[in-house]
Every structure is written in C-alpha cells, then in structure tokens.
Amino acid sequence: LSPCEAFAQNATDSIRCFATYVSTKLKKSTRKYRGAGVLAPPRHSLFESITIFAGVFLVMLALVGFNQCLGVLEPEFTYEGAWYASSICIIFALTAAPVGQPRQIFLAHTWCILVGFIFQQIPTGGFESMFDINKIPKVERVSGLPLTWKQAFSTAFGISGQAYLGIIHPPASSLAFIFASEPTWKFKNLLPILGGDVIMVIMSMIILNLGEDTQYPMYWIGLSWKSRSAQRSDERTSCVKFRKLWLNGKKQHPSTSSLNGAVGMQNSTDSLELSLDSRKWRSGDGDCLLEL
C-alpha cells in the first residue's frame, strides 16, 4: 500500500472503532433508562409524620425568631429562614442519612458560602445573560463573567467540592449560587448562618432522641478521607482474606477495622458475604461461618 492508502485505511479503522465504542456505550446507557427495579422507600407512619410535623414546626419557629432578633440588632447580619427548610426535612424525615449529620451541615454551609463569596468578587459583565451580549453596544460592555456563568460555576464548584471533601449536604449547595449572585450577602453572614445551624442541630437532637427508635446524630466528626475507589479496594481485600481463611479451614475472627461495607462474590459457592445488619459472615450456600 502507498503511504496515502495506508493512512486512509488507518483512519477508516480508527473511525470504525470509535463508532463501535460510542454505539456500545449508548446501548448500555439506554438500558439503564428503564431503572434498576429498586423499590421506593417506605412511607412514614401517621404517628411518625405527626412527630415530624411537631419537630419541624418548633425548629423552624426558633430559626425564624432567631433571625428576627438578629435583624433588630443588625439588619445586615441575618439570613433567610427558607435556606433551612431542606436541611430540616433531611434531619427529621431521613434522620440516619449521612448527608444530614452535623458535620456535613456545618462544613458544607461554610464551604459553599466561601465558594459563593469568591465568585462574588469576580466582576460581572455588562449583560446578565450570555444571550444578551449582542444586544449591548460594544462601548457599554464591561469586562467580566456573565452573571449566569458565575452562578453556574459557583454551583458546580460548591457541589463538586463537597463531593471531594466528603461533606455533602445538598441543601447547602444553593448558598454558593445565592452568594455569587447577590452582592448584598457578605462573608460576615456566615456567622449567623452557623448560629442557625447550632440551633437547628441542638433542637433536632433533643426532639428526635426523645423517641425510642430514633437516634440523632449518627456521628459528630466521623472523619474518613478514603475515596470510594479506595474503599472498594479495601472491601475486595477483606473478601479475599476471608475466602482464604474459609478455604484453608481456618475460622479465625477478623479485625473489624477492615469491615468497611458489604462485600461479596455471588458467583462462587465458597464466597463470603458480610451483612452489617445481621453481623454475620455467610458462605455462598447460606451457612453461617462467623458471627460478630
């Protein structure tokens, strides 16, 4: 083949391979649109719903009252009570959820306010929307980011930063958007917001722990810097170690520090599966090997 023909053949093969790859990915992706068949979470009982109503009412009443007191002392030293509605929903309706624990609330609020305040310092362009640039004369345009871009960037940084730092609290994400959009909100507003967090957490802790079946918080610090990939690696290592113990006939008790989650190898009858609910190690045929 001539150099030109060889190049054309390589290019054609590359395009064909890329097209096959894209087609395969799209087929796998579209299969997921049907859902995984997982059942929706169960609803709360009437008594639990009444308890949630009473707790949310008292906490929100305290937060609104606290904000009004701050407004009397210093009008600019306030917050919006609506910012806490989603947080209170998570605490009372999804009490055990990791995203509703005190550590997540305090750190996520601090992080998102910091991100929003940083983007607030970036000059805003002379048009509010990226689509308005042609409507403004060049002499009147101001260099800077469009407001819509600042809002999108701040929200993206706020959420991705929470994910990387392991401090995800979804309701806090709106603060990055709000602080980047409104120059009236200053970094000093962080203090009253954290004060509201303290009131919300303490009152929720008192109310929820009155019940027999509820526990809040699940943790205060709970530091864990491991990423999901590192956690999965530890889980696979733990599974392999226990499988070797089983195959060698050794029924030694494992170190519980390595039990980071449910691990299993469903395709092997000799596999081991950890259930944190039953605290038992079971083999693939259902026999209980170890009870922790």
User: 271-284, pLDDT tens digit by residue?
Assistant: 333 333 333 334 33
Contacts of residue 120, Cβ cutoff 8 Å, sequence gap at least 6:
150, 179, 180, 182, 183, 185
Between the alpha carbon of residue 47 and those of residues 40, 52, 211, the distances in Å are: 20, 9, 11
Among residues 196, 12, 1, 219, the alpha carbon closest in space to that of 102 is found at 219
Q: Are 113 and 187 in contact (CB under 8 A)?
A: yes
User: 212-222, pLDDT tens digit by residue?
Assistant: 889 999 999 88
User: 123-136, pLDDT tens digit by residue?
Assistant: 887 555 555 555 55
Angle, vertex CA 194, rays to CA 69 and CA 109, nearest 5:
135
| pLDDT level of residue 10 (50, 70, 90 thresholds) | confident
CA 64, CA 205: separation in Å to the nearest integer? 18
